[in-house]
Structure 1
Amino acid sequence: MGGCMGRERGDSLGQGSSRAGGRNGRKRGGRNEPLRKERPKWKSDYPMTEGQLRSKRDEFWDTAPAFEGRKEIWDALKAAAVALEASDHELAQAIVDGASITLPHGTLNECYDELGNRYQLPVYCLAPPLNLISERSEEEPSDTPPPLAPPRKEFSLKVRLSTGRDVRLSASMSDPIGHLKKQLQAQEDIEAAHQRWFFSGKLLTDKTRLQDTKIQKDYVIQVIVNNQLPASTPTPTTPPTPPTPSSPPSN
């Protein structure tokens, strides 16, 4: 007679992390009950999420065949448990019958194969706990409408060109400098590439937002306009070669 692995201390109805197996002789009296439709009800020691339940089940099914028992029976028990949880009782019963699995109590908590090996499934593989926490899928639409974008608060921004002329632009504190350059280009026909914006002596990049500059509504931004193209470097000319003096005529 071989030994059989019992449930861990404090584990009720296969709720713990026991595996199962071991040759325990034929089931008592050879009784075989049909698989019950109702699933066991149990409560976890702590609120369990759906992801934690899946991880716990995967760990059990991955390690169960390493214990005593036959792998094909473990596979059949897993398929039957999945079918039973999906409320497909007929399929679960057919899997159990096809694998010649005997159910003395009509549940998968304790069962035997045709060789008399004993198998025990923990309750968390048969049904979710009563205190299961549902996890909302990212793809699942939410009933809560998305927050509205804050209204755009515009004000008149004063920029002073290097020509000495002041220009007013319609701006908001969230506008980047690159956006305002395009607005100035549309109003004054000044290419954005020829504009350099300064505030408090600091050059403002295109990605800088007005709110980052700490500018107030009555402040002025300096805009240096450079329309001059870089002068081309003149090609050095070769000085003409002086004529070779002719030799005096010979007598």
Structure 2
Amino acid sequence: MVCCCAAASSSLSLERFSGPVTVQGRNEPLKKERPKWKSDYPMTEGQLRSKRDEFWDTAPAFEGRKEIWDALKAATVALECNDHELAQAIVDGASITLPHGTLSECYDELGNRYQLPVYCLAPPVNLISECSDEDPSDSPEPPVASKKEFQLKVRLSTGKDVRLSASMADTIGQLKKQLQAQEDMDVLQQRWFFSGKLLTDKTRLQDTKIQKDFVIQVIVNAQASAGPKASPVTSAPPPAPQ
């Protein structure tokens, strides 16, 4: 199991927030049962934390109120620690409404809708423990595609289209470095999305099920690309009296 003391760790759905909606006053207590789901391939605890981190790092950027996102993250950590009472107290304190008694769909007091992906609520049933004494090479891994290269089209949030030389075996992290070399764009500025999901650095193109003529969206973090801060200006002495 993922250590409950670790920070709640994120593919990101762009549909997790939508504008204000009308809530009919339905609010159920938070259920103790956590969802059961299976990953497309066996996932390690580190990979799960990475997916969660990606989600929580970018969640406030897609509308919604930051304080509500923070409360939802704290509630998921409490549930991971099996502290149901604390999770319920956090939800109540933030005036979050749960129409179905789960954090997968909830609303704030203004009627804004928030959705959390299942991997933030529970680990997959095929999670690989990193505490095992077994040889990591024995752990099942998704089959690696061939190295046949093709031109991958990525569309930057600036509106520019860029083509990268890629193979289905390449990871997103490798492609970020290629985009950095080609467009002078730091990898920390890049957020890659496909089919509304955030792609982590360890994700391989074959895992995204992308076709060779499809387009990957790349959001460029403008803040990270801002120039160096201006040096402080030394205050000038007051003018001499006339």
Q: Normalization by structure 1: what TM-score?
A: 0.47
Larger Cα-atom Rg: 1
Q: Normalization by structure 2: what TM-score?
A: 0.49
